[in-house]
Every structure is written in structure tokens, then in C-alpha cells.
Amino acid sequence: MADSADHDSLTLFASASGFGRAAVSVIRISGPACLDVLKAISPPLPIPRRLSLRTIRDPNSRDIIDRGLVGWFPGPNSFTGEDMAELHLHGGLAVRTAMLRTLARIPGCQAAGPGDFTRRAALNGRLDLTQAEGIADLIDAETEAQRRQALRQLDGALGRQVGAWRETAIDLLARTEAALDFSDESDVDDEGLDAVLARDAGALSKQIQAVLGDGRRGERLREGFFVVLAGPPNAGKSTLLNALAGREAAIVSSLPGTTRDAIEVRCDLGGLPVVLVDTAGLRETEDPVELEGIRRTRRHMEDADLVLHLSPADGPGREAAQRPHSLAVRTKVDLVASSRLDDGLGVCALSGSGLDALLEAIQAAAEASLGGGEALVTRERHRSALTRACGHLDCVAGGMVLAPELMAEDLRLAVRALGEVAGHVGVEEMLDRLFAGFCIGK
């Protein structure tokens, strides 16, 4: 990982297209030695930003490694802001290995770690931190809604909004500082300044809070809408999960208590990411392993966005929905005559009957929770920094700090908290954490 000045002067290289077998394999190179590397392995240098067919050789032995396309992207107008190159080679394992081994032997070159290229782009001011997160989210996006949200963030929607709030907070701070520094000079009018500052700080805080009051839609969309399948042992939870997910993900068995821990299956419901969670059956038991499973089930139910309370149609009556975000579902409806069924949701996971209605109900709940406009805040990190900023602005707005020096300090802390979102301040540790989650070559 590029975390020291020494490391930053190295030229990094990595496979940017994964490590499997493919038609084309892309190797990225970025750093000060990039130009020399290209001249050594694939002369002559291509026209910038235009892929050119070249023979690529080991610079020492002059052995041919492959014939492929070479792209040359001189800094600072490259993804990382440094000199960069891309080698589009044949996607075989041996070709890629030979190329990476050759690059590793060139002085000044080093294999990149996860996220190193994006990290350099952020450090060179090509992206702010929210956009770097947008790239990570775009790579991880599994559904259409996640892809759209990540693209919006990569486009800088959050960075621009938070940047505008930060400018306003800086302006408030400048006015306070001016009043402090020149309070004895006649041309600085601090008459009623406290009231004006309090009003403006309050207005800014309200704007931020309006965005924060989005029901955590952005975070939920990244993480998925959690649907927990709960109910007594043998209610048919695992069978239903498999039927809903369309694959055999959970162990299905006729032994009550087969599922001891939660099993999660991610699926795409109408473009929304839904995580179905199969849990241990709820019943009275002395078995310590099963008890632990039941404890975890209860915790999953508390954290769930939606709980499906399953009860077999041939058993006791339908369980009443215990909280607003829950649905009572009758399972194994094939075991009773249709005349004995009530009007609520009922499924036969074996034949698939009733599954469409259940999926529609889950999708409607997910849409109600995740839909309703475009969320700006997509991570707890953003929420926590913005909440802190609001706290400081509210101190100024509420007249809780009377001395102008203290007011200035609160405004400074608000500016700092807002700056953290885009990566202007105090983010070294955060950078390590963020880029560690990237893939190599990005």
C-alpha cells in the first residue's frame, strides 16, 4: 500500500482485470518510471491516449512476451494524475505472469496493493474521497439501483453538496474571526452579529439535517434490504429461502432445528438489493448450540428491515405481525384444503404457488424503504461527520456559546467535520481503511 513518501515515488503495476483466464488482460502501470518502462518494453512510444499495437518484450533478454495494445496516458491528465500506461495483452495465465514478473524486475517498479491507483488519484487531487468511495461502490454494485447510486457519487453529487455547505460554514467562520480580530475598528459591523450568525448557522444545520433525515436510504441501498425469515422449526424457512433465491443456498431438511445459524442470500428484486436471511427455528430448547442459534435469530429479527413470520398452514393459527415491518406468511399451503386458508399471504415453496405474491410484497416493502428519491449519504462515515457538523452548528444557533471565541471554535470544528467527508482533513487512517477494501489494479 502506498503510504510513505518513498513508496509514492515508486512506479506501481498490477493486473487491472482480475486473475482468471480471459480474452484480454489489462495491466496498469502508474508512476514516474512509466515512460522509461514503455520505451524499454514496447518501443516506440504510442501517441498519448490512443491504443497502439506493439510487440512487448523483456527489456533484458529481448524475449517477446506478447503482442498487444499499449496505451500511454501522460500525467497530470491521467486517472492517477501521474504518468500512466495500460497494456492490453492476451488474457492467458502465463502471459500475465510473464508480464508481471518482467515489470517487477525493472528498477523503481513495484506491484500495487489493493486500491493503490485510486489512492494516488485521491492524493493527487484527481478525485475527492466520496468519488473514490463511488468507484469502490460501482465495482461492488450488484443491482441497478446500487449502480445508479454509485455513479451519482462518482460524479461528485455528495462531494459538491458537502463542499457547498463547507463554503457556507467557512464564510460564517470568517465573519466571526473578522469580528474578533477587528472588533475595535469602525468598518467591521459586529452589531447584532451573534444573532445573524446564530440564524445562519441554524439554517445551515437544518439543510444538512434534511439530507440526514433520509431514513438511511443510501446506506441501506449499499448494504441491501434485510429480510429475515423467522418461525418455528420445520416451518419451511430454508425451503422458502431456496425457492425465493432460486437456488439451493440453505440446507433443507425434515429434521427440526437443522438451521442453527443464519444463512444470507443476496438477490436482486426489481433492481433493488435484497438480502434474505434464513434463521434458526424459534422454540423452547435446552440444547446450548440451538439456544445460541435462537439468540442470533432474535438479534437478526431486531436488525431486520422486514421480518417474515412463517407458520405452517396445517399448524396453529397465523402469527400476528409483531411489528410494523413484518409480514405473517402461511407455509405448506398444499397440506390443507384451500377452503381452510385465510386471505393473507400463503405459499407452497415446493410447487412455487404464492411465491410471486410474496415476492411482490417484499419488493413493495423494499421500494418503500429504499425508494423515494436519490439519497446523498451512502456511508456511516458521511453520516457521522455530518451529524458532528450539525452538533457544532446547533451550538452556535442555539446561543449556547456566547463568547465569540467559542463560537469561532465551534464553527472551525463544523468546517473540519464537513471537510472530512471529501477528505480535506484528518483522513490518513480512513484512507488506509477505504483503499484496503479495493481490488488490486484499481
Ligand X SMILES: Nc1nc2c(ncn2[C@@H]2O[C@H](COP(=O)(O)OP(=O)(O)OP(=O)(O)O)[C@@H](O)[C@H]2O)c(=O)[nH]1
Residue 399, phi-psi category: left (phi > 0), alpha (psi -120 to 50), beta (remainder): left
CB atoms within 10 A of CB 406: 14
Is residue 255 a known part of a binding site? yes
C-beta of 161 vs 285, nearer to ligand X: 285
* Binding residue for ligand X, selected from 18, 74, 257, 391, defined by CB under 6 A: 257
* Residue 183 CA to its chain's centroid (Å): 47
Is residue 271 a known part of a binding site? no
Is residue 281 a known part of a binding site? yes
Cell output for 417: 467535520
Contact between 264 and ligand X by CB under 6 A: the answer reads no
Distances (CA, A) of 335 to 244, 315, 348: 20, 10, 9
* Binding residue for ligand X, selected from 236, 419, 423, 441, defined by CB under 6 A: 236
* Rounded least distance, CB 331 to ligand X, Å: 6
Helical (H) or strand (E) element with 409: helix 404-422
Is residue 257 a known part of a binding site? yes
Contact region with ligand X (CB under 6 A), list: 106-114, 120-128, 343-351, 397-405: 343-351
Q: What is the dihedral of CA 297, 299, 302, 307, to 10 degrees?
A: -20
Task: Name residue 29's beta-bridge partners.
Answer: 13, 85
* Rounded least distance, CB 329 to ligand X, Å: 11
* Binding residue for ligand X, selected from 91, 233, 271, 315, defined by CB under 6 A: 233
The candidate with the shortest Cα–Cα distance to 378, out of 155, 121, 79, is: 155
Helical (H) or strand (E) element with 200: helix 193-212
**Beta strands 64-73 and 52-57, pairing class:** antiparallel
Contact between 237 and ligand X by CB under 6 A: the answer reads yes
Is residue 66 a known part of a binding site? no
Binding mask 303-342 for ligand X (x = CB under 6 A): ----------------------------xx-xx-------
- How many whole angstroms separate alpha carbon 439 and alpha carbon 442? 6
* Binding residue for ligand X, selected from 89, 228, 349, 431, defined by CB under 6 A: 349
C-beta of 113 vs 293, nearer to ligand X: 293
* Binding residue for ligand X, selected from 124, 207, 258, 363, defined by CB under 6 A: 258
Residues in Cβ contact with 174 at an 8 Å cutoff, skipping those fewer than 6 apart? none
C-beta of 102 vs 259, nearer to ligand X: 259
Which residue sits closest to ligand X, CB atoms considered? 281
Contact region with ligand X (CB under 6 A), list: 13-21, 111-119, 234-242, 367-375: 234-242
The candidate with the shortest Cα–Cα distance to 11, out of 99, 140, 95, 116, is: 116
Q: Per the annotation, where are the binding residues?
A: 28, 86, 126, 234-239, 253-259, 278-281, 442
Q: Which residues bind ligand X (CB under 6 A)?
A: 233-239, 252-254, 256-259, 281, 331-332, 334-335, 348-350
Q: Per the annotation, where are the binding residues for (6S)-5-formyl-5,6,7,8-tetrahydrofolate?
A: 28, 86, 126, 442
